[in-house]
Chain A
């Protein structure tokens, strides 16, 4: 079945450092790919998405490119802030669209 694998955390960075969180997926067909963010004590919210190969999703300085050849959707940000501290989830929704499958999540800590 479909699955998502993302790098284990926690990831600890200093403010203004470059961030990469790796995500790879296994799916049949052409899934849509997502990054969600969860701030402490809250539910998840969509950060960005891409619906087809070579699409780049972007929001709040974060970017991720849908790479079908490497089945990857890595999250990047050029300069992180303390307020970016959260748990980040990579996810996919398959061709049928009913279910969204999530990775295990990566906790990010940003130090001032």
Chain B
């Protein structure tokens, strides 16, 4: 069966520090991968998605970047965090080839102080 792992689960970082959140999917090949952010009291904002290794589409210009170094690995990064980067970050995957179900990780809660 397929599983998705996301870490770290909780992170407290000072303004200006770097960020790396990692997501790994097991049990499937060539998935579409996604990073969403959920700010307090708000909905889900799509940040990045990827349809293959090295292929990244950015939805919102911002302080963050994403990379897909391997087929089932998706990394969210920042060189210098801002206060506004605080939120709940969710990685997700789905099968290629249609508007199917998204499978989400457990999320990473980032607090920037």
B32 — which chain A residues lie within 8 A by C-beta? 98
Whole-angstrom CA separation of A45 from B94 in the bound complex: 12
> Which among B43, B59, B98, B106 is the interface contact of A43 at CB below 8 angstroms?
B106
- B80-110 CB mask vs A (1 if < 8 Å, else 0) is 0000000000101010011111101111000
Supposing A99-B49, A101-B46, A105-B43 touch, asked if A51 and B104 sit within 8 A by C-beta, the answer is: no
Question: Number of A residues whose C-beta is below 8 Å from B?
Answer: 25
A32 — which chain B residues lie within 8 A by C-beta? 99-100
B: interface residue count bin? 20 to 34
Cβ-based interface call for A25 (8 A): no
Quote the shortest CB–CB distance from A95 to chain B (angstroms).
Answer: 8
A46 & B99 in contact (Cβ 8 Å cutoff) = no
Whole-angstrom CA separation of A29 from B44 in the bound complex: 23
A100 & B42 in contact (Cβ 8 Å cutoff) = no
Cβ-based interface call for B112 (8 A): no
Quote the shortest CB–CB distance from A104 to chain B (angstroms).
Answer: 4
Closest to A102 in B: B44
A104 & B42 in contact (Cβ 8 Å cutoff) = yes
Cβ-based interface call for B19 (8 A): no
Whole-angstrom CA separation of A99 from B97 in the bound complex: 12
Closest to B105 in A: A43
Cβ-based interface call for B51 (8 A): yes
A103 — which chain B residues lie within 8 A by C-beta? 43
- A27-57 CB mask vs B (1 if < 8 Å, else 0) is 0000110101000011111100101000000
Closest to B42 in A: A104
Whole-angstrom CA separation of A95 from B42 in the bound complex: 26
Of the candidates B94, B97, B98, B102, the one having the most CB atoms from chain A within 10 angstroms of its own CB is B102
